Every structure is written in C-alpha cells, then in structure tokens.
Amino acid sequence: MFNNRTRIKELLASEKANYETTVMGWVRTFRNNQFIALNDGSTNNNIQVVAELGKFDEAILKRITTGACIKATGEIILSLGKGQKVELKATSIEILGDSDAEKFPLQPKKHSLEFLREIAHLRFRTNTFGAVFRVRHALAFAVHDFFNKKNFVYLHTPIITASDAEGAGEMFRVTTLPIDGTAPKNDDGSINFKEDFFGRSTNLTVSGQLEGELAAMAFSDIYTFGPTFRAENSNTTRHLAEFWMIEPEMAFHDLEDNANLAEEFIKYIIKYAMDNNKEDLEFLAQRLEEEEKQKPQNERSELGLMDKLNFVVNNSFERITYTEAIEILKESNHNKKKKFQYLVEGWGIDLQSEHERYLVEKHFKKPVILTNYPAAIKAFYMRQDDNCEPGRQTVAAMDILAPGIGEIVGGSQREERMDKLTKRMEEMHIPAEELWWYLDTRRFGACPHAGFGLGFERLVQFVTGMGNIRDVIPFPRYPKSAEF
C-alpha cells in the first residue's frame, strides 16, 4: 500500500519518539543540505526531516527544492532544535514530484495577498491560506452539525431557476441559444425563449429561499447550503459574484423564534471553530495584529481577533427595532459632527455598513439584532406588521449586525396571508402567475413561518479576520475575473 503515511499534525501533537514512520508532503525549505522543512497541509507547522550528511545520493538532494513533493521514511526522535518536540531522522527519501525552484512562484518569503490572488491555485500552500481554509472547513462542518442536531432536513435547491427570489434583477442568464445574433426572435424582436433548452428564460439562482419555504411546509424545519450568484458589477472587499448561502426555513416560527435560532446558530459555529481550530485562529490573530499596526491609529480595530470572537460568543445580542436604531443614529455625536459618510436624517433610509458598525462597535458594544424595517426597503415575502403608525408600514424583518463587518444575517417572518402577499407582489410588479407554485403554499395549509440567510463567506471573513472576501473562497469570482 502506497499511502501508509502519518499526518504531520499528529506527529507534532505527540511527544512519543523512537519509532519508525513515513511522512509525505511539500518542501517548504531545505537548509545546509540536510534539514528539510516539510508540510502536508494538516497544520501550518512543518516537521523537520533530517537527511544525514553523506547518507543520500547527491542527485536526490539536488531535487529537494522548495515546492517539491517528497516521501520520507525514518525514525521519529526527540528534537534538539527550538520550536519542535520531535523530528524525523530519514532512512529513505523518495521524490514524488519535482519543482523547478527558479520558476516556483512561492519562494520562502512574505507575499502580498494581491499577488497570491493571482496564483490562487498555489496559495493554499501558504500559512495564511492553509489556516483560512481549514477554518472554512470547520465552519462548514459546524453548519451541518448544528442543523442535524436539531433534526432539520438538508435540502438541495436548484442552481438553475426561472424565479428571481430577491426581485433584484441582477442575474446570470443560462441559455443554450446562440449568442451571435441568430437566436430565434418573437414578432416584437425579443428573444424567443420557447426555443431554449428549458423552454423559458432561466438564470443562476440568487437564493434558495422560495424553494426552501415549499419544503418547510412539509418537513417543518429545513436548511439549504449551496452556491448563489449575483451579477452585480461590484468591485469591493465585501462582494463576490459567486458565493455560498446558508438558508434555513422553519414552519411555526415567528420573528422572535427566528432571531433566537439565528443567534444560537452563529454562536455555535463560531465556538466550534474556536474549539477545533485554535492553532489556526491564533496564527490568523497574530497576522491581523501585525496588519493592524500598519494602519493609522484611528482606523485600527479596538478588538483583536480572538477578543472579537469571544465578544460574539459570550454576549447576548442586543435587540432593537429599526425605528429605535434611527433615533440612536440621528442623535449620535457621530451624525451631528457629520462623521458618517451617509448622514442619518430620518426614518425610512436604508442603513449603510457604517451605521450598522456604529451601533455594534460604538453604541452597544455587542452584536445587535435589528428588527421591523420599513416595508419599502424590504422584499415582497416579508410579513407586514400589524398596528403600524400611519405612513410607517414595517415588516417582521431582522438583520444581525456583527463587529467589524456589519450585517452578517438577514431574515424575516414570511407573509403567510394570501391577500397581503399578492397585494404586495402587485405593488412591486412581481408577476403572480410566474410564482403560482409559491402561492400554493398559502392556498393549501398556510402557517406562520420564518427563515434567514447567512452569506457563508461573510462569516468566514469575520471568523478569520481577513480583510477581503476574495481571500476566504478558494477561487473568487468577481467582475473581469473567472480564472482557475
């Protein structure tokens, strides 16, 4: 059997010595023609493989270059060097894959994140991205673990859909029709999608929510966790064209139940990563601390990464209404001294990230759940609140705001009343005939239900402290970039 190796993380975690084993991995450095720093991706820490002078053929030693893949067998002995308990004294070394040291882009030096984005296929081999993607894995596992323990059904919703769940209209079209101008046309000159593969206009999904609601009307509690797409021409550190969304939908839940579940969920998955990826998070915390030192004093975060994570896990989230938030922001010194880029002048505005972060980081100094937003700035499916002030119709929506990032969760109680839902769709010019299947859930056994969406990359960004969302997804998709 070829793969009889021991993972480097296991070796370094043990103080056991004087036994034979095999390690395989990629060479980080090779010093003095005898000390190999070897890494296999199970940890950021390398094991030192000692190639005793005079024991190995010169031709083999020349092939031990940065980036090369090797197999080393030998005895695990207690290390005399600093920073490691054990090392491997090699009895045999086999080159599994050569690497041209002069052409290998990842030389043993510090590289900028911008440069590493250009070689995203190799950046996994760096300490920063090794840590980020091990944490991403832990968070993804924790998502499934949390919902499985609560007996939720994991639902795979369609990637290709004919509906626009958000009413946003910024979608990627899916078609098999020719794009050279020869596609069949209707009498008015528009494209005749009846000739297309699906017989209608289709696009990549922006959300699995509407389909999720259908399943919640049978299973009670479901969640989706899959890729979603937005064709926004947005070149920011917070937006991607392809990203992953976690969207639970729960029958027999109101807005408060929804907020309770979302708070419990966020705390659970962050705590899971803290318990299971301590070494990676400590490395990322150190990296962030060094990065923060390069910033002007007024732009530095008040909390270190571990402090920020503990801040979320150990605090009950503050709950306030949108109306209360507007008053706090309007009366704040920050607003009065015109320190906000977007001044808060009155009720009805859509809050910006700077407003959300002010509430969390400056005013309450804890995560905030903001509820009951104006209906005019929210989606058609959100339940309209009863007993609203004249001219101030609100909906049972909620956003969870976190330090350093602003909104991390958006959700609502869904509108289960057929008359109010169809009226709202009419007001927002959403054709009821195209969503007949969605409206059937209100015709046949409707019930109060709620759900929320969490952008997985935003969460990974929050937990790892990475400043750019493109650095927390393996192969980022954004305007003018679909490499790899």
Q: How far is CA 264 from CA 220, 260, 310, 405, 462, in A?
A: 19, 6, 14, 19, 17
DSSP 459: H
Nearest to 74 by CA among 46, 37, 48: 48
Taking the CA atoms of 33, 36, 80 and 92 in sequence, report the sign of the dihedral they define: negative
For residue 221 the two structure tokens come to 């509690």
Question: Which pLDDT score, from 0 to 100, does residue 166 have?
Answer: 59
Domains 8-108 and 127-171+206-471 share a fold: no
Question: Which pLDDT score, from 0 to 100, does residue 65 have?
Answer: 97
**223 near 147, Cβ under 8 Å?**
yes
Enumerate the domain spans of the chain: 8-108, 127-171+206-471
Question: Which pLDDT score, from 0 to 100, does residue 146 have?
Answer: 98
Averaged pLDDT for residues 153-173? 84
Question: Which pLDDT score, from 0 to 100, does residue 420 have?
Answer: 96
Question: Which pLDDT score, from 0 to 100, does residue 165 have?
Answer: 63
DSSP 375: G
> Among all chains, which residue has been given the structure tokens 């017989």?
199
Q: How far is CA 224 from CA 230, 256, 299, 378, 379, in A?
A: 17, 21, 37, 22, 19
Nearest to 412 by CA among 258, 291, 280: 258
Question: Which pLDDT score, from 0 to 100, does residue 297 have?
Answer: 79
Nearest to 69 by CA among 93, 102, 91: 93
In words, the CATH class of domain 8-108 is: mainly beta
**475 near 120, Cβ under 8 Å?**
yes
CA distance 208 to 155: 9
> Among all chains, which residue has been given the structure tokens 């034979």?
20
All residues at 6 or more sequence positions from 181 whose CB lies less than 8 Å from its CB, including other chains = none
DSSP per-residue codes, 304-349: -HHHHHHHHHTSPPEEEEHHHHHHHHHHSHHHHTT-SSS---STTP
pLDDT bracket for residue 389 (50, 70, 90): confident
All residues at 6 or more sequence positions from 110 whose CB lies less than 8 Å from its CB, including other chains = none
pTM, full prediction: 0.94
Mean pLDDT of the chain, nearest integer: 94
Residue type, 177: L
Question: Which pLDDT score, from 0 to 100, does residue 167 have?
Answer: 55
DSSP 114: H
What is the chain's Cα-based Rg? 27
Q: What is the pLDDT of residues 87-112, one digit of tens each?
A: 999 999 999 999 998 999 998 888 99
Question: Which pLDDT score, from 0 to 100, does residue 211 have?
Answer: 96
Residue 375 pLDDT greater than 70, yes or no = yes
Residue 168 pLDDT greater than 60, yes or no = no
Question: Which pLDDT score, from 0 to 100, does residue 169 have?
Answer: 59
For residue 180 the two structure tokens come to 């050279």
Averaged pLDDT for residues 133-148? 98
CA distance 92 to 100: 22
Averaged pLDDT for residues 429-442? 93
Q: What is the pLDDT of residues 238-297, one digit of tens each?
A: 789 999 999 999 999 999 999 999 999 999 999 999 999 999 999 999 999 998 888 887
Question: Which pLDDT score, from 0 to 100, does residue 298 have?
Answer: 74
pLDDT bracket for residue 81 (50, 70, 90): confident
Q: 127-171+206-471 — its CATH code?
A: 3.30.930.10
**129 near 284, Cβ under 8 Å?**
no
SS3 237: coil
Q: What is the pLDDT of residues 303-332, one digit of tens each?
A: 899 999 998 999 999 999 999 999 999 999
Question: Which pLDDT score, from 0 to 100, does residue 163 have?
Answer: 77
CA distance 41 to 60: 23
Cβ neighbours, 10 Å, residue 393: 12
pLDDT bracket for residue 74 (50, 70, 90): very high
For residue 167 the two structure tokens come to 């009413």
Nearest to 399 by CA among 429, 368, 428: 368
CA distance 383 to 394: 9
Strands 153-154, 160-161: parallel, antiparallel or unpaired by DSSP? unpaired
Using N-to-C axis directions, what is the helix angle for 278-293 and 456-464, rounded to 10°? 70
Residue 343 pLDDT greater than 60, yes or no = yes
Question: Which pLDDT score, from 0 to 100, does residue 262 have?
Answer: 98
